[in-house]
Amino acid sequence: MARSIIERILTALLVVFGSTFLVFTILYVLPGDPVDTILDPSVATPEMIEKLRHELGVDQPFHIQLFQYFSDLFQGNFGHSLVNSTPVLPQILDQFPKTLALTLASASISIVLGLTLGVLSAIHRNKAIDILARIIGLFGISMPTFWTGILLILIFSVHLGWFPSLGSDGWQTLILPAFTLGVIGAGSIIRMVRNSMLEVISENFITTLRSKGLSERVIMYRHALRNALIPALTMMGMIIGDMLAGTVIIETVFSRQGIGRLIADAIMASDLPVVQGVIFFTAILYITINLIVDISYTIIDPRVRRSI
């Protein structure tokens, strides 16, 4: 199993390298000159533009810029913002705790709501709780993130006045954005857990357990749920990764601070070093989360462990 874990870690590092190369290449070929972000083209002389291009290194060939970019990343240097000249990495680390709090709160809502409704839906199939859970699951999967966020703002902030709609100061401002992402993530978990539970319930070993006289509660929560959670675990890791990406929309809709808002502002200002830095940072987080889930899957499921 140790060899399998090492192979997965090496694969994750290869994915990080590939995604970073891809992002750098895309931003390199896109039209636009970083110098235009710093200098006003209407007043800058050709000499000033050429001097700044040389200082930034953007007058170098692609392979030299790429090598310099990876060399800087290896040393923990994410570059400097073209807008305010401050280092990129401290900006990301300053905003990341706010995004992490939003992601953890959203993931908690998704997991608790998704597991509870998914299990109840399978146990009480075709009853009222099953129909309600399927409606919530369909809503979470179908509705766009920004639409759900605006709907919650109109209901709970504008009409009822229960929670603030904008800002990132205090736990009250976390409720609506966390619930928006949480409901969307819960939709996928509800469907996955329900389908897995129904599949496990129909297997022969469940019939055997019933013939031995075990109570229905023990069979469902000790045996069926444990087997049904294995595929759902993989989905939870993917959902948490998707939530990191979803913060770009949520932090913009709710005017929250965070790395999602940071990259949105950087894109609007054509601040390429910040865009590259946030994408690289987010890619590492996403790949790390999926690596942890992948390794956990191997440890938890004996069938996967035996197949290695």
Average pLDDT over the chain reads 80
Residue 28 has a pLDDT of 79
DSSP 220: I
Residue pLDDT, tens place only, 127-161: 888 888 888 888 877 777 778 888 888 888 888 88
Residue pLDDT, tens place only, 225-253: 777 777 777 677 777 777 776 777 788 88
Residue pLDDT, tens place only, 118-134: 888 888 888 888 888 88
b/e sequence 90-123, b meaning 16+ C-beta within 10 Å: ebbeebbebbebbbebbbebbbebbbebbbbbbb
Rounded average pLDDT over 93-102: 86
Among the listed residues 236, 250, 237, the one whose alpha carbon sits nearest the alpha carbon of residue 102: 250
Can you tell me the distance from the alpha carbon of 259 to that of 70, in angstroms, rounded to the nearest whole number? Answer: 21
Retrieve residue 92's tokens. 């990301």
